[in-house]
Structure 1
Amino acid sequence: MKNSDSIFADDVELIKDAEVLEEDYTPDKILCRDDALADFTDVLKPIYKGRPPQNAFLYGDTGVGKTAVTKYLRNKLVDDLERKNSNLPTDEQVTLNVIWINCENFTTGEHKTSSYQVAVGIVNRLREQGNRITGTGYAPQDVYDIMYSELDDLDGTILVVLDEVDKIGDDDTLLYELPRSRDMGYLEEVRVGVIGISNDYTFRKNLSPKVKDSLCETEIKFAPYDATELTQILSRRAELALYDSAYTKGIIDLVSSLAYKEASGSARRAIRLLRGSAEIAEGEGAEQIDETHVREADKKIEYGNIVESIADQDDEKLYILKGISHLDLVNKTPARTRTIHEAYSRVVRAYNEDGSKDPLTQRGMFNHLSKLVMFGFVNTIDRNKGASGGQWNEHEFSDDVDPGKVKEAYEGRGLDWKQIETRGVDR
C-alpha cells in the first residue's frame, strides 16, 4: 500500500533494507572466499599479537570481494583487539590505527594520482579541518616529512590501506618507502603495515623489484566468482534486503547468470542489478520482480558502465571522443583520420585557451585513436577504391557509444561541454 501522498512514494515497496544493496555495505559473513580469508587473516595475526605488522598486496577483477574482505577483517580485528585490551593492563594493550585511502580519489582531469598526492591525502586524513595542506605548493620531500611526522604522533601499529593503488601509476615512491618507513628511519614511535588493493593485474607485474619486495610481502589473488557462488551471495543479500514475496529463486538465478556472463563474475554487478530490478518493479507498482524488470535494469547499468569507462580515459582520448561527437552530430561520420584530427585540434584549443597545451600531431593523435578502437569505443572502416581510387580508413562511434554518453562522461569529470565549430571541416 502507498503510505504517503508524496510524489516520491511508490504504491508498493519491495526493498526492506536498501543499505544491504549498497556498495559500501560490509556483510556480517563473507561467502565463497574461504582461501582469501585464511591468507589475509594470517597477514593480520601479528597485529593482534602485538608484533610488527606485515604488508600484503590484493589483486583481482572488480567486484570479486577484495574491498569487502578487507573491511570485514578490519572490523573483526578492531573488535577483537577491543575485547583483548579490556582484559589487559594499559601498558600491555595493542593500539591500532587504520587509515583507508582510495587512491582513485586523487585522480582528476588535470592532475594524475601520484605518491605525492596520496601522501597529501594521508596527512589530511590525520589533521583537523582548517589545518590541512593543499595538493600543490609543497616540495615532495616536505610532504613526506609532514606525513611521517603525523604518523609518528600516533601510537602502536598503523595499518594503511591503499585501495585502487594502481592509480598511483609510475610514481611508486610511497609504495617503496611506506612499508619500510621504520627501517629507513622515518618513523620511531610506530610501526606501519601496508595493504595494497588493485584491479589491475598488469600493475602488479610492472612494479619495480624494490617495490615488490616492500609491498608484496604476501600476495593474495581474488578469482572471479562463478555462477554458483554469485547465486549464494545474491541469495543472502536478497534475504536481508528484500521482502520474501518480492522475488523468486528464478530471478536470483537470472541476475546471477547475467552478472557472470556480462561482468566476469562480479558480485558488485549482481547486487547493483538486483537493486535496480527491485526499484524498477516498485516504480511500476509490481508486487514482484520479473524478468522484464531485470532486463531493463541490465540495460541501464550497461549504459552507466559505458559512460564511466569513457570518463576514465585520459585527456587526449576524451578530446578525440568529443571531436568525433561534434562530427557525428552534423552527420560527418564516418570520418577520415585527418578530419578527426582537425576536429580534435579545435577541441584541444577550446579547452586550453591560454595556450598551455597544443594539439598532438596527426600521428600522435592516431596512436590514441587506435587505443579507442581497441577499447571498443570507435570502429574503423577500411575503404578501398582500387588502384585508381586509393585506400584509406574512416572512423565512427561503435554501437555502444554516442555523443550523449560522451557528454555525460565530460560532465562526470566536471568538464563543461563546450560547443566546437565544425563548419569548414571536410568529411
Structure 2
Amino acid sequence: MTGQENVFKSYMDSNSLFKGDRDILRPSYVPEELPHRREQINDLASIMVTALRGNRPSNVLIFGKTGTGKTAVVRYLEREINRLKRENQESELNAEFSEFDIDKVEYVYINCEVVDTHYGVMKNIGNKFVEDWDEQIPFTGWPMEKVYESLKDRIEEEKRVVVIILDELDKLVTKSGDSVLYHLSKINSELVKSKVSLIGISNNLKFTEFLDPRVKSRLGEEKMIFPPYNADQLKDILADRANKAFEPDILGNDVTSLCAALAAQEHGDARRALDLLRVSTEIAERDNDSSVNTNHVYKAKNKIEQDCVREAVNTLPTHSKLVLYSILLMHENGRDKLTTGEVYSGYKQLSKKSGMDPLTQRRITDLISELDMLGLINARVKSFGRRGRTKEIQSSVPKSDIIDLIEEDKSIEAVKNFNSHSPKQTTLM
C-alpha cells in the first residue's frame, strides 16, 4: 500500500443529488403510470385481452419515432398481465374472470438491435421455455430447420398463448431479411395446442416495403402509430419522474421546462428529455453543485449530441462508413456540395482500395438516405430541370473528428493508409 487515498473516496464522500435509484430517469424504467399514453394502452389492451381468453390476438405493428412510448406501453401491459398471473396464483380471482386462462399467457421480449440474426431470434424464443441448461439451443451450430423445429416443439409442450415482442424490428429486417418473420408468422398453421401472436415495434414506417407480401399481410393485421409528445406532455413526464428521483429544491427553476423544450424540438422524444435531465444532474454532481440549473442542461445537451454522433458512426455497417468517409474526404478537399453520382464515384474508389466489391449505385442511394435519417449528412433533392433531379449532399458532423473515428475501423485500414499518404490529393472523383 502506498498510503495514497483511494481515488473513489472523494466521490463517495460527496452527496448525491439523486434521492434514490437514478434509473428512474432512464428510458428502460416503466413507471406505474404512463402520462399521455392512456389511449394507446387501452387500444393495445383491447387487442391483447384475447390472449387472456386463450385465443390468439391479432399480430400488431407499432410505429412511431424514437421516444414516443412504444416500448414502454408494451412493457407496461406485459407487467399488468404478470400481475394478473401472480394474483391468480396467490388467490382465486373473482368469478367474473372465470372465462380467462391467465396463467397460460407467455410474453417473450426480443430487442432486435441486440439480437439481429435469424438464428439468434429463434434461439432466444426457444430457450424461454426451458430451464435446464443442457436442453438449451446453443449459441451457434444448429441448422436453422432444427432450431425452428425445437422452438415449435417447446411452445407446443403445453397449451398456451405466446406473445412475441420484436422491438426495433426494422434493424432485424435490414440486417438479416424477413425469413425469421416468415417462419414466425406461419407458425400457427403448424401448432395444435398453442398459439403465437407477434408485436413488432419500429421507428421506421417504410421498412415494411422490404417485406415479402405474405409476411407483410400476416404481420400487419393491426397497426398502431404513436404520435410525438409535445413540450407540455414532456414536461408532465419529467415532473412525474422528478418527483420520484429528487428531493425538493434539487432542480432549479425552468430545468424541466428547458429539457422538455429541447426534446420537443427533436420530434418530441421522451428518451432525449429523460437523458437531458439525468445527464444534467450527473454534471451538477461532478461540479459539486448542490442543485441543477439550466447551464447544466446546456452542457448535457452538448455532451449527449457528441456521444450520439460517435455511437451512430461506430455502429454503421462498413459500406455506410465508406460512403460517409468519401463525403467527408471530398469536403476536406474543398467539395462542399456533392451529387449522388459524385459520392458513388468516391465510394467506389474507396471500396476497391479496401479490397471490397462496391455495392450498386441504387443501394448506395439507400445508404445515403439512411445517413440522412441518422443526421450524419444533409441530403436534399435538387431539380436540374430537363436534366432531372439528384440529391445535394453535405455532411452535418465535425469532419476531422469523424474521419479519425472512421479510420479506427480495422476493416478499412487500407483506405486510411491511402488517404494518409496524400491527404490533399486523394482524387475521390
With the shorter chain as reference, the TM-score category is 0.7 to 0.9
Match of 2:307 in 1: 304
C-alpha change, 1:180 and 1:83, in structure 2 (3 Å) is farther
Of 92-101 and 402-411, the range deviating more from structure 2: 402-411
Are the equivalent residues in 1 in contact too, given 2:59–2:198 (CA < 8 A)?
yes
What SS does the aligned partner of 1:244 have? Answer: coil
Q: CA deviation at 1:345?
A: 3.4
Alignment of 1:14-413 (within 5 A): 14-16=17-19, 17-85=21-89, 86-87=91-92, 94-107=103-116, 113=117, 115-127=118-130, 128-129=132-133, 131-133=135-137, 137-169=141-173, 171-182=177-188, 184-185=189-190, 187-204=191-208, 207-261=211-265, 263-322=266-325, 332=333, 334=335, 341-346=348-353, 348-349=354-355, 357-359=356-358, 367=365, 371=369, 374=372, 377-378=376-377, 398-405=395-402, 408=405
Name the CA distance, whole Å, in 1 between partners of 2:412 and 2:133. Answer: 33
Name the CA distance, whole Å, in 2 between partners of 1:154 and 1:403. Answer: 59
Q: CA deviation at 1:209?
A: 4.2
Q: 1:261-289: per-residue Cα shift (whole Å, max 9, x none)?
A: 1x200100000000010011111111111
Of 136-145 and 296-305, the range deviating more from structure 2: 136-145
What SS does the aligned partner of 1:121 have? Answer: helix
Name the CA distance, whole Å, in 2 between partners of 1:268 and 1:64. Answer: 8
C-alpha change, 1:421 and 1:28, in structure 2 (3 Å) is same
Name the CA distance, whole Å, in 1 between partners of 2:313 and 2:134. Answer: 35
C-alpha change, 1:216 and 1:378, in structure 2 (3 Å) is closer
Q: CA deviation at 1:118?
A: 2.2
What SS does the aligned partner of 2:228 have? Answer: coil
Name the CA distance, whole Å, in 2 between partners of 1:129 and 1:253. Answer: 50
Q: CA deviation at 1:211?
A: 2.6
What SS does the aligned partner of 1:255 have? Answer: helix
Are the equivalent residues in 2 in contact too, given 1:281–1:289 (CA < 8 A)?
yes
TM-score normalised by the chain length of structure 1:
0.78
Of 48-57 and 123-132, the range deviating more from structure 2: 123-132
Name the CA distance, whole Å, in 1 between partners of 2:330 and 2:124. Answer: 40
What SS does the aligned partner of 1:220 have? Answer: strand
Of 63-72 and 158-167, the range deviating more from structure 2: 158-167
Are the equivalent residues in 1 in contact too, given 2:50–2:56 (CA < 8 A)?
yes
Q: CA deviation at 1:139?
A: 4.0
Unaligned stretches of 5+ in structure 1? 108-112, 350-356, 381-394
Q: Which amino acid aligns with 1:401?
A: P
Q: Which amino acid aligns with 1:229?
A: Q
C-alpha change, 1:212 and 1:397, in structure 2 (3 Å) is closer
Name the CA distance, whole Å, in 2 between partners of 1:37 and 1:49. Answer: 19
Are the equivalent residues in 1 in contact too, given 2:326–2:346 (CA < 8 A)?
no
Match of 1:9 in 2: 12
Name the CA distance, whole Å, in 1 between partners of 2:207 and 2:346. Answer: 35
Name the CA distance, whole Å, in 2 between partners of 1:78 and 1:333. Answer: 60
C-alpha change, 1:100 and 1:406, in structure 2 (3 Å) is farther
Match of 1:388 in 2: none
Unaligned stretches of 5+ in structure 2? 1-6, 337-341, 380-391
Are the equivalent residues in 2 in contact too, given 1:175–1:214 (CA < 8 A)?
no
Q: CA RMSD in A?
A: 3.5
Q: CA deviation at 1:324?
A: 6.2
Q: 1:89-142: per-residue Cα shift (whole Å, max 9, x none)?
A: 9x97632221111111134xxxxx4x4442233234445545544566544333
Q: CA deviation at 1:226?
A: 0.8
Q: CA deviation at 1:340?
A: 6.1
C-alpha change, 1:256 and 1:120, in structure 2 (3 Å) is same
Are the equivalent residues in 2 in contact too, given 1:179–1:194 (CA < 8 A)?
yes
Q: Which amino acid aligns with 2:105?
A: L
Q: CA deviation at 1:72?
A: 0.8
C-alpha change, 1:149 and 1:403, in structure 2 (3 Å) is farther
Match of 1:390 in 2: none
Of 132-141 and 6-15, the range deviating more from structure 2: 132-141
Are the equivalent residues in 1 in contact too, given 2:323–2:364 (CA < 8 A)?
no
C-alpha change, 1:116 and 1:264, in structure 2 (3 Å) is same
Identity %: 27
Are the equivalent residues in 2 in contact too, given 1:278–1:293 (CA < 8 A)?
yes
Name the CA distance, whole Å, in 2 between partners of 1:180 and 1:300. Answer: 46
Of 130-139 and 231-240, the range deviating more from structure 2: 130-139
What SS does the aligned partner of 1:243 have? Answer: coil
